[in-house]
Amino acid sequence: MATINASVTISSNISSNPISISKTMSMTKSANPSVGLEETTGLRTKKFTSTTAAVIVEADELTDDTAHKVYIRNAGTNRANFFYVAYNASAAGAAEAETIGKLYGGDWMLFPYNGSTNITVASSTATETQYLEYMVFADGIVAAKG
């Protein structure tokens, strides 16, 4: 059985009571939570040289399910440049897009994904090349894309 574990550790002195959170999650199938996710799209890197939005995960690539997990990282180090990340069938930043947030240089995210809509990203800059790293841990893959 495949095993995929994700861990996050957060510590902060932002308040008078220090914060310390350390959590680990085993990624499992929705239909059988005792079985780990067994598929992945593979780790991908995409180069952006414009602000044109691009689909990085296509809805038809994965089975409709609630167990998928998506990892995205802005591989850059410049905190002035970021990526818009959105759920949408067309474009991040467009009026119809449901923007999840912005990933600044060095930022990353891991979130659940049900496979029913595209995930798009758009660079905040056309003057500096940016690189995005991403991967889907999947309950089921319909077709290999890339």
What is the per-residue pLDDT across 24-58, written as a single tens digit (0 to 9) for each? 998 888 777 788 888 888 899 999 999 988 999 98
The domain tally of the chain equals 1
pTM: 0.85
> What integer pLDDT is reported at residue 43 of this predicted model?
94
Instruction: Give me the CATH number covering residue 91.
Output: 2.60.120.10
How confident is the model at residue 61, as a pLDDT? 82
Instruction: Give the domain range for residue 80.
Output: 39-138
C-alpha to C-alpha distances, 106 to 14, 109, 131, 138, nearest whole angstrom: 21, 10, 11, 24
Does residue 129 form part of some domain?
yes
**CA-based end-to-end distance of the chain:** 26
Say yes or no to pLDDT of 93 above 70: no
H/E element holding 12?
Answer: strand 5-12
| 13 in a structural domain | no
Asked if residue 26 lies in contact with residue 137, where contact means CB atoms within 8 angstroms, the answer is no
CA angle 76, 80, 82 (to 5 degrees): 60
The answer to the question of residue 68 being in a domain is: yes
What is the CB-side half-sphere exposure of residue 136 using CA atoms within 13 A?
A: 27
* pLDDT tier for residue 143 given thresholds of 50, 70 and 90: low
Q: Decide if 26 is inside a domain.
A: no
